[in-house]
Structure 1
Amino acid sequence: MPSRGTPRGRGGRSTAAAVGALVLAAVLALGACGGSGDGAGRGPVRLTWYVYNESSGSFAKAAADCSAASNGRYTIGVNMLPNDSDGQRQQLVRRLAAEDSSMDILALDVTWTAEFAEAGWIVPFPAAEARRLTDGMLPAAVRTGTWENQLHAVPLNTNVQLLWYRKDLVPRPPRTWDEMLADARRLAEQGRPHYVEVQGAQYEGYTVLFNSLVASAGGRILNEDGTQVVLGTPAQRAVEAIRALAHSPAADPSWSNQREDDNRLAFETGSAAFQLNYPFIYPSARQNNPRLAEQIGWAQWPTLVPGQPSHSTIGGYNLAIGAYSPHRAEAAAAIECLTGRDNQIRDAIDGGLPPTIEDLYTDQEFIDGGYPFASAIYTALQNASVRPRTPAYQSVSLQIAHTLSPPSSASLGRLGQLRGAIADALESKGLVP
């Protein structure tokens, strides 16, 4: 595993080549834009990075390290956004709508690329620069930052959920949704911890749950180009799975109010046997409940079709350049550093965030250094589903979370209502504020 002291490029790029490429990119950008700094002799350009408050402090360290590594070209200040994606998007949209020139580097949820690109709030990377910035990255992650065949955002981290379980309670991990509920029911009858912790509040996480269930049943919410509703038999199976959990002993009494961090906390207290969540829960458990952490096992997300792989929804964050930033060349250079190998390793080990650099998933030093579930994450990413790709995604997501909430009320009747609501959302002429 490489040293984390000085951020550098991805595997396969020499330091000299990386520096040369940065210089060339800066010269081209300055020639095209007439300069993007604060002026000669005035010190480094001050960039602002809008990103959520990652709890391990990895992002803040990356900003400091990249500022130092720029040799006085720029400094990166971090503007912390709310931890929930809905709150993050709201703040970004308000500032961008006001043409805020401080919006230099934006951490975007993977579902926002189409919306922000269509609105003209972020700028695409030139083709040659896009190839360099994404060299060696997972193709699935790169696709999340691409719209209309142009890279608009560079993957910072990817993400996908696994099934986390208690090895001291479950002899082998369940492979299907029904097996998971049966195991939970057995544990409940024995008076042992048995809850399945999963996102059920009325927000984006509940939409992700529904999307993962629909995909794992062999279906999708919208067609490939995001223009028509496809919900069919797989969506019915997804609703039935939600109802089965809601009306079983496996359901945490507070499920309808739970988000990812609520699931993490409940699991750490020892009341649950299972958790469907992202890998950030692992370093957290190691810090907060080391004894429990020793009993944590991991497996693929439970499928709805026996014998077929599950399709957990891909997540993560990408870094884009704000359209109103006067420092585009420096922002691009900073993004290359922030998404570099050393920073991705630290984000993964300290924060649990899956890297986008593909060869890390077979890097034994990285795996032994604190990412033992790398192979499981890689497998899940190969089978991952995507959320509907449409500029109207926010409206679609809101309709799903609203119509099927709370989980105990999800029904085939509401699924019929959802079809019409999504169709209306696709006809929306504006963005959800």
Structure 2
Amino acid sequence: MPRSLPVLLAVTLAAGCTAAGDTGGGETATGGTGPITFATGRDTTAYLQPLLDRWNQAHPAEKVTLLELPEAADEQRAQMAANLQAQSSRYDVLGLDVVWTAEFAENGWIIPLERGLFPLDRFLPPVVETAVYKNKLWAVPYTSNAGLLYYRTDLVDKPPKTWAELRDQSREIDKKHNVGGYAGQFLAYEGLTVNFSEAVQSAGGEIISRDGTAVTFDPATGGTALEFLLQGLREGWIPKEALTYKEEESRLAFQEGELAFARNWPHAYGPAKARLGDKLGVTRLPGLDGPGSSTLGGVNLAISAYSKNQHTAQEFIRYFTSLENERRVLTEGSFPPVWTELYDDPDLIKRFPYLPVLKESILAAKPRPVSANYTQVSLVIASSVAKALANPSPETADDVAVSMKSELEEIIRTQ
């Protein structure tokens, strides 16, 4: 999930880098069995412990202990980084945000894994990409995520596929029903990086090359993406209040009837459905000329380079990402799984009607910019876009896009 930036930046600047593949624990998890610790974000749904109990009952000599880190991802990362910089063996399995792969690999904090040990061909392909860096597998996908467009079926006859349709429908609904148009997550934090990255992708562009070595951001395309948001603010179909929205604020505004459309993650479906019932619709994000491209979210499981029981950690990851447990990830934890076939299961679709749309969104999604200095990249994007949104004049978009590219090139040049 998205995270705030200042803590992340501070930890990143403090971290020392080593070459990817120079792992304190060897090239692959080949030895070491015994008790392990699974460090991940706080379990807010209480579904994790029963899964761990099943493992522990079958592996009494290799029990796993859950170490719940703070709910906020930036604080999770800060604690992991401090532990790994100290080369501590306290953590064995790490629940990593999908955007941390490059950094953790470059720092030598995690070890590469043998692809053949995991059924990656049965996972959603874009999700697997988030665990790969410099042609090595550094983690195993555990949960996925992609942005969706939530809309009111009582106000919208046919959901928009393009930005122009979103604009026109939002303005018409406001005139007829006095209901606000569209909002995403536009506060200056990681969520704004996500929303802008989605806009760039949905306009046909990208920000950084897939290998993280070059800035491929085109200021013209970036300006078009930014102008989509600026125009909404100027014309009022994106309310000014949206500049203060994170996930929860945008979810509440939508389900309380203040918006006709809202961009959010799948976790917002349950509460919105409970509130709106049959008035709730879900579709893919719109784009410049057709359906847009979401940003990938989710959690991958990696093994600490300093774990003393890497073989047990590897076997635990194989168990934890199995088809049976991935089904429980959805049904008991309400998180998007990574196995493709679960999105086509009729019983699951009946229970979670958004699954077909979510599958389409994940397959069309792209990772956030890949960089060992991701937090600095994200800070530049979020702060630049926030500055533009605060002054949404027609001249702003192109100037901000040119400046943003220059700052990003400086980060990539010095990494």
Match of 2:53 among 64, 68, 85: 64
Offset at residue 179 of structure 1 (A) = 1.7
Match of 1:103 among 81, 91, 108: 91
Ranges in structure 1 where 5+ consecutive residues have no aligned partner: 1-28, 38-44
Question: Does 1:242 pair with 2:229?
Answer: yes
Offset at residue 167 of structure 1 (A) = 0.7
Match of 1:395 among 364, 376, 381: 376
CA gap 1:347/1:128 in 2 versus in 1, 3 angstroms = closer
TM-score by length of 1: 0.82
CA gap 1:100/1:258 in 2 versus in 1, 3 angstroms = farther
CA gap 1:174/1:102 in 2 versus in 1, 3 angstroms = same
What is the match of residue 321 of structure 2? Answer: 339
User: Are 1:187 and 1:193, in contact at CA under 8 Å, matched by a contact in 2?
Assistant: yes
The separation in 2 between residues aligned to 1:351 and 1:183, in whole angstroms, is 35
Question: Does 1:84 pair with 2:84?
Answer: no
Identity, in percent, stands at: 32
Ranges in structure 2 where 5+ consecutive residues have no aligned partner: 1-27
User: Are 1:184 and 1:249, in contact at CA under 8 Å, matched by a contact in 2?
Assistant: no
Question: Does 1:206 pair with 2:192?
Answer: yes
What is the match of residue 375 of structure 1? Answer: 356
User: Are 2:146 and 2:365, in contact at CA under 8 Å, matched by a contact in 1?
Assistant: yes
The separation in 2 between residues aligned to 1:64 and 1:257, in whole angstroms, is 41
What is the match of residue 168 of structure 1? Answer: 154
Aligned Cα root-mean-square deviation (Å) = 2.1
Match of 1:256 among 207, 231, 243: 243
CA gap 1:133/1:321 in 2 versus in 1, 3 angstroms = farther
CA gap 1:330/1:224 in 2 versus in 1, 3 angstroms = closer
User: Are 2:142 and 2:337, in contact at CA under 8 Å, matched by a contact in 1?
Assistant: yes
Secondary structure in structure 2 of the residue aligned to 1:254: helix
Q: Deviations over 1:240-276 (max 9, x none)?
A: 0120222233334432222122222222322221111
Question: Does 1:317 pair with 2:292?
Answer: no
TM-score by length of 2: 0.86
The separation in 2 between residues aligned to 1:101 and 1:145, in whole angstroms, is 22
CA gap 1:66/1:272 in 2 versus in 1, 3 angstroms = farther
Q: How does 1:168-187 map to 2 (within 5 A)?
A: 168-187=154-173
What is the match of residue 413 of structure 1? Answer: 399
What is the match of residue 286 of structure 2? Answer: 302
User: Are 1:314 and 1:384, in contact at CA under 8 Å, matched by a contact in 2?
Assistant: yes
Q: Deviations over 1:1-59 (max 9, x none)?
A: xxxxxxxxxxxxxxxxxxxxxxxxxxxx99x54x432xxxxxxx2x2222222432233
Offset at residue 329 of structure 1 (A) = 1.4
Give the counterpart letter for 1:51 in structure 2.
T
Match of 1:273 among 260, 266, 288: 260
What is the match of residue 213 of structure 2? Answer: 227
CA gap 1:86/1:304 in 2 versus in 1, 3 angstroms = farther
Give the counterpart letter for 1:145 in structure 2.
A
- Runs of 4+ displaced beyond 4 Å: none
Offset at residue 191 of structure 1 (A) = 4.0
Q: Deviations over 1:305-345 (max 9, x none)?
A: 2xx33111122110001111112111112212222223322
Which segment is superposed worse, 205-214 or 347-356?
Answer: 347-356
